[in-house]
Structure formats: C-alpha cells, structure tokens
Structure 1
C-alpha cells in the first residue's frame, strides 16, 4: 500500500487556474481571524469544526488546494486530505503570505 500523496503548487499556476475558472476546491487552514482579515477569493476556511462538511460535500475527483500562512502546515493537511480519498491534492508553496505579497489586488476580506 502506498501512502497518499499531494503535490506542490506555485502561485502563478493557482492564479491561472482561478482565471480560467478551473473547477477546484480551495481551502485555507489559517486561524479564523487571519482568514477573516484576508483570503484568496473563493477560498473556504477549514478547521476541525468544518472538516466533516468538507469531507461530505467536496468532490474527490477535482483538484483540492490547501493554503496556510507560508506553505508549511498546508503540506501536512494536504497529505491528510489525500488520505481521505481526494485524488488531486496540492499545497500552495509560499502560502497566503506570498500570495498577498505578489497579488495584493487578489485578496478578499
């Protein structure tokens, strides 16, 4: 049995996907106050309380992108979500901090 895996995703690629209206699930695992202060448009906040809803609602066959502060803790979350049956899971390299730095006009509060 092989371990469920995830892939790394860079910011320009995610921006292209969003511009092209590619079907994907985008989740942000930062704390609620940070998420409320700013997040990538179309992102849903994911924490221990909202995981069951995500597992029940999100299609397993479309890309799932996990965002955190700097792209570190999202890797663990992405690996865990891959283990829950999501087949195309990504961790955003650089996280929200890098997204906000590169694309400040694409931050929603």
Structure 2
C-alpha cells in the first residue's frame, strides 16, 4: 500500500476515463482567473469558499481528480480530500498546463 492517501493520475488515463464517461468529479484548485481562462471541461473550481459545497454534494464513493497548474499543489489538496473520507482521490500529474498542451481542443472557458 502507498504511503500517500491519494494516487497519481496521468493525462492519458484521465482522457480515457473522460472519453468513456466514467463517473468522477474534477476539481480545479488554480486561481479563479486562471480557471476562467481555461479548464478541463466538466471541472469545477475549488477554493476555500466552495469546498463546503463539494463536501456536501459529492458522495464519498465518487472518484475525485484534483487539478492544479503543474501537478504539485494538487497533491496537498488530494491528501486533504482523502482525509475527508473520499475513497478514491487522484492528483493529476502535469496539471492543467500539461493537459492543455496535449489536448488544446479540450479546454473550456468560463462564460464572460
């Protein structure tokens, strides 16, 4: 068993899951402006103000994928979410930056 309460997830695996319509929750912890300028479709912005709603609305059985800029900060957030009782928590290796570089046509923007 791993020493960390979450798992690392690579970009190709996330793409496969999304293409297959896997049931999961994508949470993006980057700053609001960066999220508005581009994010993985179906992801929701997560910050101190919105984390309560996530905890209330998301089943502990739902896999959570945490996205940040490069895959570093997401590890801390993933560990914290795992500590809240989520069974399957993932930190996206390479973060949004790597996702956008590999899949530029699969980036959504927030409405103005």
Q: Is the 8 A contact 1:29 1:74 kept in 2?
A: yes
TM-score by length of 1: 0.96
Structure 1 position 107 matched with structure 2 position 107: yes
Say yes or no: does 1:39 pair with 2:39: yes
Matched length:
107
**CA positional deviation for 1:37:** 0.1
The answer for unaligned runs of 5 or more in structure 1 is none
1:4–1:82 CA contact under 8 A, matched in 2: no
Contact between 1:75 and 1:91, CA under 8 Å: does it hold in 2? yes
Query: Normalised by the size of structure 2, how large is the TM-score?
Result: 0.93
Alignment of 1:1-109 (within 5 A): 5-109=5-109
Runs of 4 or more above 4 Å deviation = none
Deviations 1:54-108 (A, max 9, x none): 0000111121000000000000000000000000000000000000000001000
Q: Which deviates the most, 23-32 or 3-12?
A: 3-12
User: Where in structure 2 are there 5+ consecutive unaligned residues?
Assistant: none
Q: Distance in 2 between matches of 1:68 and 1:4?
A: 18
